[in-house]
Each structure stands twice: as structure tokens, then as C-alpha cells.
Amino acid sequence: MILETARLLLRPLAIADIDEFVALHDDGEVTRFIQRLDRPAAEERLQFIEREWLERGHGMSGPEYWGQFDEIEVGWVLRRDAWGHGYATEATRACLNWRFASLEGPYFPAMIHP
């Protein structure tokens, strides 16, 4: 799955993204509210993400299924230099449009706010 917006090209994360993924998780400000991942943990997470996309057709870097809540959510982790440019909002809109048009399963909550 690849989505394009006016400014973004969205695609699933893959093991080939390991260096950038490790660097992203090495920034304490970026990981302030999420788990910090070292290289082995990042590689394990990327392998999980690849399997999730193969099995479900969605995963991190877009809609992600959370089994403990039995729902699909959209969320982003961005490098600090990408903060404040509206990228997450733009990406979320594209993912929501794609999700509602393409995937079966539980729907997002009725109230969706940008």
C-alpha cells in the first residue's frame, strides 16, 4: 500500500528502514511518550510490522490494529524537524480515507478530530 498526498508519500515501514528507525527512537524528545527502542528491539518491531502488513493489510505507519482494544488506530512518530508542519494531519486524513474505502473490520470512533 502506498498513499500519496500533496506533500507526502506514505508506505509501510520495512526492515530496510532500520537505520532511520533506530535514529528516530534514539531521540529522547521524540520518545518522551513512547517506548525507546535500541537496534535489536527496533529490528524486532520492524519484523513485526512487516508481518502485520502481510497478514492484515495494515500496520504501523498508518492504520494499526491494537488487539488489547480490538480496534484500529492511526498514529505517528515524527522526527523533531518534521514537527509543526501538518504532516501528521495530512497523513492521517489520507489514511482514514484509504481505511474506510479499503478495509473491513471495526470502524474508528464516530468522532474524529484532526
CA distance 49 to 34: 16
pLDDT value, residue 62: 60
Q: Indicate the burial class of 95 (C-beta count within 10 angstroms; 0-12, 13-18, 19 or more).
A: buried
Q: Across residues 35-49, what is the average pLDDT?
A: 94
Residue pLDDT, tens place only, 45-94 = 999 989 988 887 766 656 667 778 777 777 789 999 999 999 999 988 88
Map out the domains of the chain as residue ranges.
3-102
pLDDT value, residue 107: 52
Phi and psi dihedrals of 96, rounded to 5? -65, -45
pTM of the model: 0.74
